[in-house]
Amino acid sequence: MFFIAFFGVQDKEKYIGTYNNIVCPSCEKLARYEIHKVYRYFHIFFIPIFRWNVRYVVKTSCCSCLYELDPFVGKEFEKNPATQIKKENLRRINNYSPFKHCLNCSADVPAEFSYCPYCGGKLQP
């Protein structure tokens, strides 16, 4: 099978703000959270068509641990930076790159794909 790569999926990351005076859940140092909004969009001929998978990712300033923030709290924080972020709103994640790497053609492909849309090769799970 062969596909022509006139469409694609891209991820965007936007810095929203910092949240000060927290005790890091990982290393227990006094630190701050850096909040990023991450979303994915689908484009055809590089024109963004739709956006989905909006997530809020929090990074600690001390040890760069990553957490996924409850999207409801993330949305609130975006509107009002005084919003409280509690430990219970965070979920530990290892990285927020939703991409797999195609060994065949070196393309970055969304993690939920089983086959590479560029070369049709099967992707490692």
- Rounded Cα distance between 37 and 57, Å, is 6
Q: Which is nearer to Zn ion, 110 or 121 (CB)?
A: 121
66 near Zn ion, rule: CB under 5 A:
no
Q: How far apart are the first and last CA of the chain?
A: 19
- In this structure, what are the phi and psi dihedrals at residue 103, rounded to the nearest 5 degrees? -75, -20
Residue type, 58: V
Nearest-angstrom CA–CA distance, 10 and 88: 30
Could you tell me the maximum CA-CA distance found in the chain, to the nearest angstrom?
Answer: 54
**Shortest Å, Cβ 79 to Zn ion:** 27
Q: Considering beta carbons, is residue 14 or 29 the nearer one to Zn ion?
A: 29
Among 5, 49, 54, 63, binds Zn ion (CB under 5 A): 63
The gap from C-alpha 64 to its chain's centroid, in whole angstroms, comes to 15
The binding track of 8-47 with respect to Zn ion, each residue x by CB under 5 A or -, is ----------------x-xx--------------------
Minimal distance in Å, beta carbon 69 to Zn ion? 16
Q: Using CB under 5 A as the criterion, which residues of the chain lie in contact with Zn ion when the complex forms?
A: 24, 26-27, 60, 62-63, 102, 104-105, 107, 116, 118-119, 121
